[in-house]
Amino acid sequence: NLITSFIKNTSFEIFGNDYSTADGTCIRDYIHIKDLAKAHVLGLQFLESQKQMRFETLNIGSGKGLSVQEAITLTEKVFNQEAKVSISPRRPGDPPILIADNSKMKAWLKWEPEFSAMDMIRDHSDFIRLRRSMEIL
């Protein structure tokens, strides 16, 4: 993973830099774990409030795309160091862009993502560092 490559000072592998996107790397919808957890809690509360069981599919995501290169650039800012990157060929079947349509989630459960990609990177790196320090103890 990207953040682990910064912490361990190893190379991060990008699978394809020739997509039809602004910087050539694929775009994905990343979401903070706290936003994901809150969405699940709201979903469970909704189910509990129903008199009759009802099933719906609700997409949980930020609704915003971030390219792999943009994620690398944000992580470089958090760590204040340049990434070590290697470029590999595309993986078969990887689409250039995948972004969740969270409009149904927002409308039904009044849910909004609260955390930015930068928050996600900072919090994830703090978690990994904490976990690694506890392994040493």
Instruction: Give pLDDT tens digits for 72-93.
Output: 999 999 999 999 999 999 999 9
The pLDDT-based confidence of 52 (bands split at 50, 70, 90) is confident
- Backbone torsions φ then ψ of 98, nearest 5 degrees: -135, 110
**Cα distance from N-terminal residue to C-terminal residue, the chain:** 24
Q: Please tell me the predicted confidence (pLDDT) of residue 137.
A: 58
Mean predicted lDDT score pLDDT of the chain:
92
Q: Which residues pair with 15 in a beta bridge?
A: 88
Q: Please tell me the predicted confidence (pLDDT) of residue 118.
A: 94
| Prediction pTM value | 0.86
User: Cα Rg for the chain, rounded, in angstroms?
Assistant: 18
